[in-house]
Amino acid sequence: MQPNGFFDHPQQQVPLSEGSAPLPCFFRHVHYTVCMFPADREPLFRKLEGTGLVPALQLGGRFMVALGLVKYTDSNLGAYNEVILAIPSLPAGTKAPWSNWADLVGPLHRRRVGQYILHIPVTSRFSMLAGRELWGYPKIVAPITHQHKGHSLQVAVEDPVTGEQILSLGGNWRMSIPFIPLPLITYSFQNNMLLRTEVAVRGTMQLRLWHNLRLQVGPSQHPFAADLRDLGLHNRQPWVVLDTPHFQSVFYPGKPMGQ
């Protein structure tokens, strides 16, 4: 148990199709990197059609998409790697915050801007089942490598069927400045119902500056690779990079919107 009670929550075991998992779900030791990319407008809106969500974050007149690069070494779901492609979004028709960027640092229960996940490969079958059955996340199992060394990062995801590369992202940075951790909201669908999941986080982030990180989309025809191409992300550099090897989070049960 943490001194400030961050993980001091009663947990309830929830049965899965294979085994069970606790809710809330604790992730105690995580290396977390998030890269924000400008995306092409038309395909971005097309991927949100029918969800009831609209893009939320703009920078330089461009809407952002997020690529999360995650390495779990101690969690209730075990140790595994994960990559997340998500669109920062908020429900259409809701009262927008005065600044969608400022909303990211607001109190968790008041947050409106969240991540709508398009793809989320993981290296663990148990994590895949838990993600699908607890929160409706579109998880699949695929080979993922994460390599962090000094001021450099190398990540790759392979097609689980053909073995071809879906993506690679690599490079280094010259310096960093501390940045506050950003609590998370996710939006996902389960049984055709939009869920809102709150995620408490802690661990000082680092804003990576003067970096040469670049995303490359491989030859795979997997839907993940196809969406990266469609969004115009091949050979792109992220505009914002946040990173920490000391990330912790608590995933609460998802709640249907309106409750």
pLDDT along the chain (259 residues), means of 10: 73 98 98 97 96 94 96 98 97 81 87 96 98 98 94 97 98 94 94 96 95 98 98 98 96 89
The amino acid present at 77, given as its one-letter code, is L
pLDDT at 56: 94
List Cβ neighbours of 104 (8 Å cut-off, separation of 6 or more).
Answer: 111, 113, 182
CB atoms within 10 A of CB 222: 23
Contacts of 65 (CB under 8 A, 6+ apart): 36, 37, 39, 44, 85, 86, 87, 88, 231, 233
- Alpha carbon distance 124, 111 (integer Å): 30
Residue 29: which of 2, 5, 11 has the closest Cα?
2
In the chain, the DSSP E strands lie at: 12-15, 20-23, 25-38, 53-55, 58-59, 62-75, 80-91, 114-122, 139-141, 144-149, 152-158, 165-179, 184-190, 193-202, 205-211, 214-217, 240-251, 255-256
The pLDDT of residue 227 is: 98
Alpha helices in the chain (DSSP H): 41-47, 100-103, 125-130, 223-230
What pLDDT score was predicted for residue 204? Answer: 92
pLDDT at 1 (0 to 100) = 34
What pLDDT was estimated at residue 2? 41
Instruction: Name the pairing type of β-strands 58-59 and 62-75.
Output: antiparallel
Closest CA to 248 of 205, 179, 201: 201
How far apart CA 176 and CA 197 sit, in angstroms, is 30
